[in-house]
Structure 1
Amino acid sequence: MTTDKQVEWLREGDIWPDTEDDELRTRLLENGAIGPGQSGLRVRFVGAIVFRGRTMAALPKVHASRSPEDVHRHALRAMRRYRQWAPTHHEPSPYLNESPDKGPVSTLAAADWLIRDFAAHGLLRRTEISHEVNGGGQINWRRTIESTDVVMSRGRPVYLDTITRRSESDNSNFATRLHCYLLERLSREYAPLLDLEPIVLDHEAVERLEALPSIEECKARLAIEQRVTYSQRGMDLLAMMLATIESLEIETELGLSLFGTSSFYHIWEVACGRVFGNEVEIWKPFIPKPRWISAGGQRTESDTFIPDLVAELNDHELLIGDAKYYRPAMPPALRDVPGVNDVAKQIWYKDCLKSEAQRRSYSIIQNVFLFPRDVEQMSLLGHVELPAGGERIDAVAVPFLDALAIYSGDKPHIPQKWRERLSIVLRMLP
């Protein structure tokens, strides 16, 4: 990632300085990007932040040896993937939203969508149709017959002149000019921060807008364009252009734009599911649901807990995994570990699935907490017992950036290799 603007690097979980700008602190508090924590306000956000000319990037809480630019790139790509394939039971981040019909779209999210849409489809173009005599286009026979002289040759009509159709791009079309304006402006300001290639349109003959028109004019003129647009891409693009103008107006006043999430733990959950090849859907029917019974005897089942991850490690080992986006410290300085509710829940999952696992010839059920770490290979961190000497759940470090790269599709992946490696790690238990 290269940018002319100086990027200020933050990290999720770090303390927000008391000396920071009061207005920025207020805006970030209002949007949930920072929040109360131990020893004061802490960063609660992963992604890109722009505030009145300042450019910031908040990295995931996992400390990594790679450059901040590389970590930011991995996080961005994972968040884009998550935006497209987020489980329906997850609450979506408003600062990743790219669908105007689902709510406001931040300027950074709009820039991300517009730049990637341009890379895939190019500039919005409108065609201007005209006619000329003896041109190189398709002959318009109706116009030719009506407006040119005919010569008879051997009893057959011959037209020495023909009227042909000419089509060329309308470089003065408002929607095309507005699209060009937004691409050049947003690409210049945000493409590097979003790890996207800047857009250069110097070769385009489109008449440039000197400034962004009023939102009222844009709405009126884009409404006309929408009435004559029939392709899905065209309709989506016009809707996003209008959403972008609205967000520019709002965020210019507030001074703040965000692209990212305050729920990066959701991304770690689905990344682990991708890495190990999640098969939880197969096992969900064996997780009981609470049954409520009225005094009159009427019965209704309610929602239940669902494991993050269930997968076959090999033909005799079954994995039940809980992806924990924590930075744990093992004894003697125990810190930031799953609570007793999480421990008890994993034990309950094992108890629920035990009979079906045995029926399918799994003789071992491995219960594991999966923590993100800056490591090359999976390794054992420790384990927890409940009660002491009773059921055991192992704590395993999983290579953080590799998992994100696999999830986002940037790295080749064979789930079985990760399963085999985890099985080996668990066999090394003391």
Structure 2
Amino acid sequence: MRAAYFCELRPYSEDEIRAELAIGIDENRAVIDALMDCGVIRYRTGDERDEEETLGADGADATQRYQFRYVGIAIALGHAIICYPKYIRSTGRPECQMRQVLSVIRRLGQEGKLLDPQNGGRRSDQLTLMIRLLLLYDEYGVYSNYEETRLLNGPGVIDWQRTIDMETPVISNGAPIYLDLWTRKTKRTEYDLIMRLHRAILSECSRFLAEFGLSALLSIGTVELTDESPADMGEPEYFRWLIDRERAGQYVTWKQDVLDLMRAYLTEHGVGADRGRVLRLGTTSYYHAWEVACKTAFGDLLGCRLRELPIDLAKGWRARKSETLLQIIPSPLWTRAQGMGDAGDVDTLIPDTITFAKAEGRTLFCIYDAKYYVPSRRGKIHGQPGVESITKQFLYQSAYKDFVEDHGFDGVASAFLVPSEEDEPKLLASVSFPGVMSGATGASAKFSDHIDMWALPAHEVFDCYLRRRELDPVVYESLLG
């Protein structure tokens, strides 16, 4: 079966969706309704004000009312839908890019960083269960138990402790000689029901993904271990009881995970679950993935304690060495009118990424704001960060003013980071705020009077996140201004 591809936030008409799915009008309407019910599709009214929501809406005609506000895989009424990120503008089916996108989504889920847990707040849904089971199999193999037998003078490894405890040796030249030896042999229980169930579930999951053409996209090989299906083997209630009993005595972590996943799979009725339910592996908050990836790629120091920073703390800051770079940002101070009590603490500024860098002999304090936007490349700029983001970026610089000056930084680099499908970083634009934010002159010359907006190769930044590495500083020196 051929999966259908759609671009995140691009407006589509019903006819365009039906053409990509290659189905009839009534079935198409049912698929759209199912996807709208679970938040994968939203209806575009034309009154949206959010910059992200209006992406691509310019020039859309009156029939293009549907936007896929989602990145990932959704299976609805027997149809596989692939939603790829909005920064991928190439025509065609971006299968290669989607392999990385799905790896990022899986990693975020494993780390508990998905902002919108699947299926009404549960930690995972049926599609996620299938993928996790297959990945565990790829790493550890089939769940199996072993029987250990001990025999007198039998085959296997000599069990010296049992031999010493049970047998009387003959002493020869002062040394004990054992005429009879106990041996230990371990064999796998081939007909263990848990093992059979695991094989059946793995084979069923693999066939399900292959049916929708998702195996290659998820980088999961075909698994054909048995012709049995879980439904053929017995009642789910019995197998859940059997799994619970096995789990009580199992202390190997990966086996515990497999048992938990199999139990959840049976509870959700396997691939035979209600066909009207939408199965998902994805997120409506892929902007968060970009933020997390940028933090990794640029070596974010925001959560580091001052004593852990790669600088010698100035004298006035040593008493605050246990605070983080986030905690040293001042907070707004509210004072109630006389006699009305304490106003209390309030929230303060929270930058995306703070890091230090060296360029051309200068040490720079870098303030980066990851923006999951796709700004226009020609003509009047649109799709760029708004005035609130611009103002906050200047305020971050002001909040760190004392720290920057006291530690002798040579300058401040301030930039918005947006994703692109290109292979090299590209400066798209710069923004200043004349008459509101003062220029970088005189004593404040080291502070930036503008914010650059850079388009970064998304595949490279996400690769940093997946491999837990940082970007090559030589390649990205240009971001330092």
Could you say which TM-score interval applies, normalised by the shorter chain?
0.7 to 0.9
Displacement of 1:68 after TM fit?
1.0
3-state SS of paired residue (2:11): coil
3-state SS of paired residue (1:236): helix
CA distance in 1, matches of 2:158, 2:290: 60
Q: Does 1:197 align with 2:220?
A: yes
Displacement of 1:124 after TM fit?
0.7
Q: Does 1:17 align with 2:13?
A: yes
Q: Does 1:226 align with 2:247?
A: yes
Residue 16 of structure 1 contacts residue 41 of structure 1 at CA under 8 Å; is this kept in 2?
A: yes
Q: TM-score, normalised by structure 2?
A: 0.74
CA distance in 2, matches of 1:125, 1:383: 60
Residue 204 of structure 2 contacts residue 271 of structure 2 at CA under 8 Å; is this kept in 1?
A: no
Residue 7 of structure 1 contacts residue 57 of structure 1 at CA under 8 Å; is this kept in 2?
A: yes
CA distance in 1, matches of 2:114, 2:127: 20
Q: Does 1:290 align with 2:348?
A: no
Q: Does 1:407 align with 2:465?
A: yes
1:383-394 matched pairs, under 5 angstroms: 383-387=430-434, 390=437, 391-394=449-452
Moved more, 385-394 or 22-31: 385-394
Residue 378 of structure 1 contacts residue 398 of structure 1 at CA under 8 Å; is this kept in 2?
A: yes
For 1:68-93, what per-residue CA distance to the aligned partner results, in whole angstroms no more than 9, with x for missing partners? 1111011112223323446xxx6633
Unaligned stretches of 5+ residues in structure 1 = none
Displacement of 1:60 after TM fit?
0.8
Distance 1:331 1:386, change over 3 A: farther
3-state SS of paired residue (1:416): coil
Match 2:474 to one of 393, 417, 427:
417
For 1:242-265, what per-residue CA distance to the aligned partner results, in whole angstroms no more than 9, with x for missing partners? 112233459821342110111110
CA distance in 2, matches of 1:353, 1:229: 52
Residue 177 of structure 1 contacts residue 208 of structure 1 at CA under 8 Å; is this kept in 2?
A: no
Match 2:298 to one of 245, 259, 276:
276
Match 2:232 to one of 198, 204, 211:
211
3-state SS of paired residue (1:259): strand
For 1:152-171, what per-residue CA distance to the aligned partner results, in whole angstroms no more than 9, with x for missing partners? 999xx999887755432222
Distance 1:212 1:10, change over 3 A: farther
1:109 maps to which residue?
Answer: 128
Displacement of 1:297 after TM fit?
3.8
1:82-101 matched pairs, under 5 angstroms: 82-85=108-111, 92-95=115-118
Distance 1:167 1:359, change over 3 A: same
Residue 46 of structure 1 contacts residue 58 of structure 1 at CA under 8 Å; is this kept in 2?
A: yes
Counting matched residue pairs gives: 408
Distance 1:74 1:349, change over 3 A: same
CA distance in 1, matches of 2:363, 2:352: 21
3-state SS of paired residue (1:369): strand
CA distance in 2, matches of 1:385, 1:255: 49
Residue 96 of structure 1 contacts residue 260 of structure 1 at CA under 8 Å; is this kept in 2?
A: no
2:326 maps to amino acid = K
Residue 93 of structure 1 contacts residue 260 of structure 1 at CA under 8 Å; is this kept in 2?
A: no
Q: Does 1:31 align with 2:89?
A: no
Distance 1:248 1:239, change over 3 A: same
1:380 maps to which residue?
Answer: 427
Moved more, 112-121 or 34-43: 34-43
CA distance in 1, matches of 2:84, 2:224: 32
Match 1:70 to one of 67, 83, 96:
96
Displacement of 1:376 after TM fit?
2.1
Displacement of 1:304 after TM fit?
2.2
2:79 maps to which residue?
Answer: 54
Residue 96 of structure 1 contacts residue 109 of structure 1 at CA under 8 Å; is this kept in 2?
A: no
Residue 375 of structure 2 contacts residue 382 of structure 2 at CA under 8 Å; is this kept in 1?
A: yes
Match 1:311 to one of 338, 349, 355:
355
Q: Does 1:187 align with 2:206?
A: yes
Distance 1:406 1:288, change over 3 A: same
2:418 maps to amino acid = F
3-state SS of paired residue (1:285): coil
CA distance in 2, matches of 1:80, 1:124: 23
Q: TM-score, normalised by structure 1?
A: 0.82
1:368 maps to which residue?
Answer: 415
Displacement of 1:174 after TM fit?
2.0
Displacement of 1:381 after TM fit?
0.9
CA distance in 2, matches of 1:17, 1:177: 47
For 1:137-194, what per-residue CA distance to the aligned partner results, in whole angstroms no more than 9, with x for missing partners? 356899999x99x9x999xx99988775543222222221111111111123226155
Residue 275 of structure 1 contacts residue 418 of structure 1 at CA under 8 Å; is this kept in 2?
A: no
Moved more, 324-333 or 172-181: 324-333
Distance 1:96 1:374, change over 3 A: farther
Q: Does 1:171 align with 2:215?
A: no
Q: CA RMSD in A?
A: 3.7
CA distance in 2, matches of 1:117, 1:96: 22
3-state SS of paired residue (1:258): strand
CA distance in 2, matches of 1:80, 1:402: 18
Distance 1:276 1:222, change over 3 A: same
Unaligned stretches of 5+ residues in structure 2 = 19-27, 47-63, 304-323, 438-448
Q: Does 1:328 align with 2:397?
A: no
1:45 maps to which residue?
Answer: 70
Displacement of 1:280 after TM fit?
2.0
Displacement of 1:269 after TM fit?
0.8
2:156 maps to amino acid = G
Distance 1:79 1:417, change over 3 A: farther
Displacement of 1:419 after TM fit?
4.2
Q: Does 1:266 align with 2:319?
A: no
1:275 maps to amino acid = A
Residue 112 of structure 1 contacts residue 194 of structure 1 at CA under 8 Å; is this kept in 2?
A: no
CA distance in 2, matches of 1:144, 1:365: 74
Moved more, 17-26 or 222-231: 17-26
CA distance in 1, matches of 2:325, 2:163: 71
Distance 1:74 1:386, change over 3 A: same
